[in-house]
Structure 1
Amino acid sequence: MTEKVDFDQYTDNYNELLREGTKFFSSNEEYFARYKIELVRKYAHQPVGRILEYGCGIGRNISYLKTAFPGAEVIGTDISEAGLALAAKENPGVRFEVERAGLDVGTFDLIFVAGVFHHVAVAERAGVSQVLHDRLNPKGSLFVFEHNPYNPVTRRIVDTCPYDADAVLLRPSELKALLCGTGLKSDRRAYCLFVPPKLSWLMPLENWLQWLPMGGQYWVSAHKA
């Protein structure tokens, strides 16, 4: 069994490692945060009053969520206390909580999860899915982004990244089944991150390529019936 990664060890150089692994696509790690949040803003059910980022790490997505949904309360949870300390420092006024059994943070109109499930032990993924279900308001939106196991470049990045040492990638159909297994209804499943920002003139192609299983990542959205 692969030893569980201790994310506290990578708090100080998380962005540096991400930048090193993905520099062929974009030299700015913030690009990936902006890209995902823009997709969420486009497809989320409205209105959005409370937002949870489950597995927020060092909080690099938080400011983009606040900008995309002005006026909404944003809360971040994670298992890494060191990561949350940095997130709180960088995002004053935002509530952060250590993710644990029995944690009560209420329910949310929008839940955002990015790059978390491949770190969750396979046997524990159904439990995490149930937590997300239970924290989602009726008609609320859940968005989950994951690495695309069909993309050889993505697989290479994962294989060489220190904090992905425990990663077990899952197919879109597996993720959808996990979410639907809790009673959630799937809205959309799409591949993304085809075009690097230096080729921004090709960006409109992203909308036409969502069906093609060669994007760097994919995302699945769901809601409560």
Structure 2
Amino acid sequence: MSNKVDFDDYTDNYNELLRESTGFFSASEEYFARYKIQLVQKLVKRSPKRILEYGCGIGRNIPFLHAAFPDAHIEGSDISAASLDIARRDNPGIEFFLEEDQVEAGEPVDLIFVAGVFHHIPPSQRTEVARKLFQRLAPGGELYVFEHNPYNPVTRRIVDNCPYDEDAVLLKPSELKSLFKGASLKVEGAAYCLFIPPKLSALAWMENGLGWLPLGGQYWVRGLRPA
């Protein structure tokens, strides 16, 4: 694995690099945030009162979480202090905290959203992180993790050429499910996603029937902390 990426180095041009990497699919980086959160909104079993985005980066998902769950208390965490500075600036009224400063689990949350984070975590540390997320969930709370699909050759090419994915080690859905189970989380569902680009929105209905097909750009796994 390559040297660990320091996301403080990419705070100024994160969205620009994302657009360069994924522009063939969508010219708007907001599309990917909206897509994932709308999917979670459809899947969530109960309206969450407290939400955590783990690994929130510069906070580009936060406005969409707020729009989808306007009555929820939302907070974000990350390991990059520079990223959190931007997240606070762009999302006033939202609580953000640096992971290394979080000694205790804090108040339990009903929903944890994680997008594109686990492939940056060294494999030897992933079990520990999964257990940490379990501890932060309230009984009956849900964890949603989105990851790059290692079976998709286009996704692999994007990751190989993206500067802030230099340290990426992609994981298969089976590995992510095993991490959930090892952390005492019940796997409630999983599917591949991001098949249809927005310019072909008339075909978006097809996404609902393609979750079994390992050709989506990403995939998601949903876990539940038993009540």
Scaled to the shorter chain, the TM-score interval is over 0.9
d(CA) in 2 for partners of 1:111, 1:173 = 20
Code of the residue aligned with 1:124 in structure 2: it is: Q
What count of residue pairs does the alignment treat as equivalent?
225
d(CA) in 2 for partners of 1:107, 1:15 = 31
Partner residue of 2:96? 96
Superposed CA RMSD in Å reads 0.8
Code of the residue aligned with 2:31 in structure 1: it is: Y
8 Å Cα contact 1:49-1:71 kept in structure 2: yes
Q: Under a length normalisation based on structure 2, what TM-score does the superposition of the two structures give? A: 0.98
8 Å Cα contact 1:45-1:139 kept in structure 2: no
Partner residue of 2:168? 167
8 Å Cα contact 2:105-2:135 kept in structure 1: no
d(CA) in 1 for partners of 2:27, 2:11 = 19
Q: Percent identity?
A: 62
Partner residue of 1:154? 155
SS of 1:59's equivalent in the other structure is coil
SS of 1:170's equivalent in the other structure is coil
8 Å Cα contact 1:45-1:140 kept in structure 2: no
Deviation at 1:103, TM superposition (A): 4.3
**Residue segments in structure 1 that go unaligned for 5+ positions in a row:** none
SS of 2:48's equivalent in the other structure is coil
| Structure 1 residues 154-204: Cα deviation after superposition (integer angstroms, max 9, x where no partner) | 000000000000000000000000011111100101000000000000000
Select between 98-107 and 177-186 the one with higher mean Cα deviation: 98-107
d(CA) in 2 for partners of 1:78, 1:27 = 26
Partner residue of 1:135? 136
Matched, 1:108 2:109: yes
d(CA) in 2 for partners of 1:184, 1:104 = 17
Partner residue of 2:65? 65
> Which runs of 4 or more aligned residues in structure 1 lie more than 4 Å from their structure 2 counterparts after TM superposition?
none
Q: Under a length normalisation based on structure 1, what TM-score does the superposition of the two structures give? A: 0.98
Select between 37-46 and 144-153 the one with higher mean Cα deviation: 37-46
Partner residue of 1:193? 194
**Residue segments in structure 2 that go unaligned for 5+ positions in a row:** none
SS of 2:133's equivalent in the other structure is helix
Deviation at 1:105, TM superposition (A): 3.1
SS of 1:149's equivalent in the other structure is coil
